[in-house]
Structure 1
Amino acid sequence: MMHEYVSVLERRSERWSKLLQDRPGVEKNLTVKRFVRKGVPNEHRARIWMAASGAQEQLDLNPGHYRALLATEPDARLRETIHTDLHRTFPDNIFFQTRAEPGLQEALFRVLLAYGLHNKAVGYCQGMNFIAGYLIIITKDEEQSFWLLDALLGRILPDYYSPAMLGLKADQDVLGELVKAKAPAVGQLMAQYPGIWTLVASRWFICLYIDILPIETVLRVWDCLFYEGSKVLFRVALTLVLHHQAEILRCRSLPDVCECFRQISSGAFTLDCHTFMQRIFTEPGSLSMATIDKLRDKCRRQILEEESR
């Protein structure tokens, strides 16, 4: 797959270089959207992500903010919580191993610490370490990684990492509603198991498919996530479900369902990232942000009502 994909990457790189040469800014238009969906070359990813997400604008408006956060009085509890998770972040990646020089663990610690001080309502939550780690690998820049993390947690994924995780809980229920509409038989099966979407999909959303999908596929998903917003996460989830309906419907117990969902995110279908990304924009059919926002409001109200009883 990679042998064939390398030639695709080379062609995309040439086209992106010409596009960016002709257009100094990264606009939101159909041409750029089409380019993003076909994949952003690694050498341009940091620039595209920063521009598309609004992170570059925030960096420009707040010069020196990242360094100022790191220079403030240390929060001992926050530092300890982050340190506890550092060794669990990509333990098999040589750049994140403690003995690596210069190593990325120190950069990761600083980015997470700065964000915890910047957004005290969130602080630090498990799962953020993997996201920040991916950002550092791509940008190779702490300050850019910090502002991209701020774009994700503050705007693109609201309330995923707040203490109550209301946004995450709601989006799991939204996925359940979307499956009922687009794959009724699967929806009927899943309805037999209360709380099933938390079991099978919470990690998909909270880790943004890191360690769920192959790395190149994750990066392609993130290209679209930064450009188009959180509805991309639902397109990925729905495509996995729709493409594997037959396997899911053969499940006869809760353990069967959980194991099936673990398996559908791997294999040739997700490894061929180019074809997979084409499928996420065709298989689920129409999926507007207005539809998702309406379902989010409904699911949030239901969760808050249940929690207040």
Structure 2
Amino acid sequence: MLSRPPSVIAPLTVSQEALLAEMEQLNSANTNDPKAKVLLHIKRQSMRRSIMVGNPLERKDENMMTDDYDWELWASIICEQDLTKPIKLLPKHVQRGVPPALRGMVWQLLAQSKNANLEREYSQLLKLTSPYEKMIQRDLARTFPGHEVFKDKDGIGQEGLFNVMRAYSVFDQEVGYCQGLAFVVGPLLLNMPDEEAFCVFVQMMNKYGFRGHFTPDMEGLHLRLYQFDALLAEHLPHVARHLQLQGVRSTMYASQWFMTLFAYKFPLELVFLIYDVILAEGASAIFKFAIALLKRNETTILGLDFEQLLDFLKNKLFEEYKSNDRRLVDDACALQISPKRLFQLEKEHKQQLAKELADAKLLDELQQTNIAFKKKAKDLEFEVAELRREHQDVSEQLIESKDNLIHLYDERDSLQDLVDSLQAEVTGLPSQVEQQRRSQFDELCNENSQLVHKNCLLEDQLASIEALLIDMKMKYAQSENQKEELQRTLFEIKRSITT
């Protein structure tokens, strides 16, 4: 789909296009000439009658050229358009509706989208490739699948959508392509050629502020939903409270309203009327339509539960307007939503975002601090475990030393008993010793001296073991002190974490 499709405007016939072209030629006429003014008035009347004849469905009686449109107003706007100034229409004229034959031109005037440079840029963009082409192609069949203009795979409608979406994805690379954009462009293509639809779409994204609905962070959509929630609570408090009690948030049903301008589910004839008011009054008109829809269905909404509510809000809200779609415009225009209130809500939303950002930053800092404390606690727990292992080793060594000491004590007692016994024998048998041979006496003396020497050695060994035991006890006392200090530190850290 690289070619540029012709216009897909359905309401205009060949004769009507010629008449509209004649209208545009009158713009360059010298209206300062009194004769030219009279001629201009006559031509307006003639074109009005010609358009009426070309649209028999819009006239009430073939003998009476009357209808619901103020043709004088629309002829004046088309013939005396000033592209350098905004077109401001009275709400009552928009409420009565824009003539379908002139809708595309009126939308372009309201959006101030006439831009020859942008149209030339569009032609150049069509020659470029987009990384979103496959995604756009995949979504074409899901955009207005029941409409005769868009239902054919290779039809003019899908071709126009593909071209505008592909060109815009290259034109605005930050937005690129998102689902929902095609639903905004579709109504434009039904009323004007694709190059003009592209220019109006660019104005809607930038001038009307719809671009923020499709940026990566969707900051504009979040703002609209915040404002909508506040306005809903002010205008329909019972509905707002019921939705809140049922757990139905505006993101579940109103997001598609703001992203597709109600084109996703609503009949296109109703969407055209919504576009009329939005392009005339600005993006804030969406709030009027949203609240008007809920207000008209308030009784039904208050009687539904969660699942029924979601289905009703997404698919059945417009049923009340099937018999008279202009009544939705009447209901919306009857609501008063001041720009000052919207600005105040925008300011509150920015403050809330700033607070949430600050809270998120503080939470991140606390989480980092908590992670640091946990790491420190883990390190201390590891140190305590090491000290416990060392303490266990020392305890085992102490037990072993005590066992050895007990054994030495027993051995010392045995030796002492032996010494005492020998000394008693030596004391009790002096006469026998004197009577024995000198050699035996010497042997006994030697043996006695050896035993005394061995006893001295054992006493020295016992003294060293007692010194070792004292040293072990001191180390054990130090380890107990360190253990108590570490436990107090661990307790303080845990208490700081829990607080």
TM-score range with shorter-chain normalisation?
0.7 to 0.9
User: Partner residue of 2:98?
Assistant: 40
User: Partner residue of 2:454?
Assistant: none
What one-letter code is carried by the residue in structure 1 that aligns with 2:149? F
User: Partner residue of 2:303?
Assistant: 250
Identify the match of residue 203 of structure 2 among 151, 159, 165: 151
Please state how far the C-alpha of 1:138 moved relative to its aligned partner.
Answer: 1.1
User: Partner residue of 1:69?
Assistant: 125
User: Partner residue of 2:111?
Assistant: 53
Please state if 1:97 is matched with 2:97.
no
Identify the match of residue 227 of structure 2 among 174, 181, 184: 174
The answer as to whether partners of 2:136 and 2:165 remain within 8 angstroms in 1 is yes
The answer as to whether partners of 2:212 and 2:221 remain within 8 angstroms in 1 is yes
Unpaired segments of 5 or more residues in structure 2?
Answer: 1-56, 61-65, 361-499
User: Partner residue of 1:278?
Assistant: 330
User: Partner residue of 1:269?
Assistant: 321
Identify the match of residue 227 of structure 1 among 276, 280, 284: 280
User: Partner residue of 1:23?
Assistant: 80
The answer as to whether partners of 1:244 and 1:264 remain within 8 angstroms in 2 is no
Identify the match of residue 133 of structure 1 among 157, 161, 186: 186
Please state if 1:86 is matched with 2:144.
no
What one-letter code is carried by the residue in structure 2 that aligns with 1:178? L
The answer as to whether partners of 2:119 and 2:196 remain within 8 angstroms in 1 is no
SS at match of 2:145: coil
Deviations 1:163-203 (A, max 9, x none): 11121122122111111111122222223355610112111
Deviations 1:130-182 (A, max 9, x none): 2212211111x111111111111222124011111121122122111111111
User: Partner residue of 1:198?
Assistant: 251
The answer as to whether partners of 2:122 and 2:167 remain within 8 angstroms in 1 is yes
Please state how far the C-alpha of 1:18 moved relative to its aligned partner.
Answer: 3.5
Range moving further from structure 2, 267-276 or 38-47: 267-276
Task: Report the structure number with the largest CA radius of gyration.
Answer: 2
| Alignment CA distance shift 1:92-1:21 (3 Å) | closer
User: Partner residue of 1:12?
Assistant: 69
Please provide the CA RMSD for this pair: 2.6
Partners of 2:160 and 2:94 in 1: CA distance:
28
The runs of at least 4 aligned residues of structure 1 exceeding 6 Å deviation read none
| Alignment CA distance shift 1:194-1:153 (3 Å) | farther
User: Partner residue of 1:293?
Assistant: 343
| Alignment CA distance shift 1:261-1:267 (3 Å) | same
| Alignment CA distance shift 1:94-1:256 (3 Å) | closer
Partners of 1:15 and 1:265 in 2: CA distance:
35
| Alignment CA distance shift 1:135-1:99 (3 Å) | same
User: Partner residue of 2:471?
Assistant: none
User: Partner residue of 1:183?
Assistant: 236
Deviations 1:94-127 (A, max 9, x none): 22233565x2212211111111111111010101
Partners of 2:255 and 2:110 in 1: CA distance:
26
| Alignment CA distance shift 1:192-1:270 (3 Å) | same
TM-score normalized by the length of structure 1: 0.85
Unpaired segments of 5 or more residues in structure 1?
Answer: none
The answer as to whether partners of 2:161 and 2:186 remain within 8 angstroms in 1 is yes
| Alignment CA distance shift 1:152-1:28 (3 Å) | closer
Please state how far the C-alpha of 1:300 moved relative to its aligned partner.
Answer: 4.5
The answer as to whether partners of 1:16 and 1:41 remain within 8 angstroms in 2 is no
Number of aligned residue pairs: 296
